[in-house]
């Protein structure tokens, strides 16, 4: 899913015409600040501006569904829609410390500090080799990161095993 940010489009200039593929669909975009609208693959998206405190204008997309001002619209299901109309929550609002996924993502965050291109091996969480030390990093810092990674992985594993244990205990097919 691609996002269109009105501020990025606005910075490119007052008149933009372009075309290209997104999600296998060729699009044509025609943005004009003076029109107050943007045509995108046959969709006409209204654009409003609000004055800034120290001069200038701030542009906003108007979501075609909820009619609210939005900075970004998402290209989903071959149309431009805002996050709230798509019912997309923000990841950080949906996580809790009782969810194993939270701990795995914290562990991955540590790996990404060491290797920006880190991926779990085979796409499976927890599979893979902990990244090697960056050049110039102190060994103590590296060991601390490795220990925190191990703690997060252990907490995530513990939460999964607790859930599986609860499912087995409450299963109607017990022997």
Same domain, 12 and 62: yes
Using alpha carbons only, give the angle 114, 120, 123 rounded to the nearest 5 degrees.
Answer: 155
- Output 11 or 80, whichever has higher pLDDT: 80
Q: Are residues 82 and 96 in the same domain?
A: no
In a domain, 170, yes or no: no
What pLDDT score was predicted for residue 144?
95
pTM attached to this predicted model: 0.48
Measure the CA–CA gap between 111 and 131, rounded to whole angstroms: 6
Which domain does 124 fall in, by range? 92-160
Residues 78 and 140 in one domain: no
pLDDT, position 68? 92
Looking at residue 41, its pLDDT comes to 67
Boundary residue ending a domain (57, 86, 115):
86
Query: Quick one: pLDDT at residue 128?
Result: 65
Long-range contacts of 112-117 (CB under 8 A, 24+ apart): 113/145, 114/142, 114/145
Mean pLDDT of the chain: 78
What values do phi and psi take at 40, rounded to 5?
-140, 105
Q: Domain count of the chain?
A: 2
Q: What pLDDT score does 56 carry?
A: 82
**59 and 105: one domain?**
no
Q: Specify the 3-state DSSP secondary structure of 102.
A: helix
Residue 137 and residue 69 share a domain: no
Residues 54 and 96 in one domain: no
Q: Using the structure block, give the residue that is written with the tokens 């513990």.
A: 158
* Final residue before a domain boundary, out of 32, 56, 86: 86
Report for 25-29, 62-66, 137-141, 163-167: range of highest mean pLDDT? 137-141
Closest CA to 45 of 21, 73, 19, 8: 73
Same domain, 24 and 66: yes
**In a domain? residue 171:** no
Q: Which of 86, 119, 142 is the last residue of a domain?
A: 86
Regarding whether 78 and 11 lie in a shared domain, the answer is yes
Residue 14 lies in a domain: yes
The pLDDT-based confidence of 138 (bands split at 50, 70, 90) is: very high
| Residue 9 to residues 39, 59, 65, 146, Cα–Cα distance (Å) | 13, 10, 21, 41
Of 7-11, 44-48, 163-167, which range is least confident?
Answer: 7-11
How many angstroms separate the CA atoms of 73 and 76, rounded? 9
7 is a domain residue: yes
């Amino acid at each position: 899913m691609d996002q269109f940010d009105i501020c990025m489009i606005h910075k490119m200039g007052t008149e933009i015409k372009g075309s290209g593929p997104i999600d296998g669909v060729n699009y044509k975009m025609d943005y004009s600040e003076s029109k107050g609208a943007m045509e995108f693959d046959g969709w006409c998206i209204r654009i409003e501006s609000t004055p800034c405190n120290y001069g200038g204008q701030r542009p906003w997309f108007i979501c075609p569904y909820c009619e609210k001002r939005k900075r970004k619209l998402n290209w989903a299901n071959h149309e431009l829609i805002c996050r709230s109309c798509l019912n997309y929550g923000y990841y950080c609002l949906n996580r809790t410390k009782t969810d194993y996924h939270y701990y795995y993502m914290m562990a991955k965050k540590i790996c990404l500090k060491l290797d920006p291109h880190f991926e779990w091996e085979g796409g499976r969480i927890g599979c893979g080799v902990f990244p090697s030390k960056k050049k110039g990093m102190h060994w103590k810092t590296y060991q601390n990161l490795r220990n925190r990674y191990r703690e997060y992985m252990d907490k995530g594993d513990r939460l999964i095993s607790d859930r599986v244990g609860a499912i087995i205990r409450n299963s109607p097919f017990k022997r």
